[in-house]
Copies of this chain bind each other. A is one copy, B any other.
Amino acid sequence: MRLVTYATPAGARPAAVVAGDRLLDLGGIAGSLTELLSSDAALDAARAAVASADADSLLVVDAADVLAPVVPGKILCLGYNYRGHVPDGVDPTANDPEYPDVFVKTSNTLAGPNDAVVIPPGATDVDYEGEVAVVIGRRAQRVSLEDALDHVGGYTILNDVSDRAWQRRQSQWALGKCSDGFAPLGPWVVTPDEAPDPQDLLVEVVRDGVVTVSQSTSTTIFSVAYVIHHISQVLTLEPGDIVSTGTPQKLPAAQDAHRPLADGDEVTVRIAGLGELTTRFVASQESAA
């Protein structure tokens, strides 16, 4: 299933995308998408509802009412996780780090798939990172590598928006990663039974019409299963938590042509089998204090 959260006058509700962009409300089955993803019974009921849905029960929902699919208790991200291109004869794994470099995006970074990202006053070097984001379905505490994927509720897309100037100013990246709205997420969660192999996804970014990133998750150093196994040794992952799997490097031409994001820029993260997340960037109307 492709699952979303959408706004209603009575609050956010989960739904399935069943035909084009029409939704089947699942609020009668679970109170939230996180609750739905964490319950096999609820998922079974949702699948049955989708299978038997008639056209009259479907909703046409305005894109602006589609929210971030989950409200994660934690957003954990990876630094360097895609291998770069190396000449023939060079071992591509030669520079692999021993451990994933994990960092945190705070709760204020979460944004819906249709929210514009405000470039903070004074920010001079805001950049995008298109990533496959794992939504945890079942609590993961010290899970083995073999069992790790059983804890995945689904896959979605994260733009790990980053202020490179702040990121360079300290050893820790928090202030470069945690501005309000710097984690657009969505538009939907694809459950593992319908998602492609997470280690064979083409991740692309299109900026203002130009493809700037194009690399498969087959070139990641740490697989989804390994990352969940690894992190869960140290801390407990809960349903709804996000584990984002890092960004590929920009293509060489895009690196050369790169300029910081500015008012009106549009960035689409496109991941085969997971959909597209398009984010518009707008300048802040305020000034720094």
| A residues with CB within 8 A of B | 73-74, 76, 79, 97-104, 106-109, 120-122, 142-144, 147, 163, 166, 169-175, 178-180, 229, 231-236, 238, 286-289
Contacts and interface: CB of A to CB of B under 8 A. Distances in A.
Contacts of A286: 142
Contacts of A98: 169
Contacts of A172: 79, 101-103, 172-173
A163 B283 CA distance: 40
B106 A74 contact: yes
Total identical chains: 2
B289 A100 contact: no
Contact of A235 (B106, B142, B231, B233): B106
Contacts of A73: 106-108
A31 to B, nearest CB: 19
B108 A235 contact: yes
Contact of A108 (B107, B169, B236): B236
A178 B73 CA distance: 13
Nearest to A101: B170
Nearest to A170: B101
List the 4 closest pairs (A to B, CB-CB), nearest first: A104-B104, A142-B289, A103-B172, A101-B170
A127 to B, nearest CB: 15
Contacts of A99: 169-170, 175
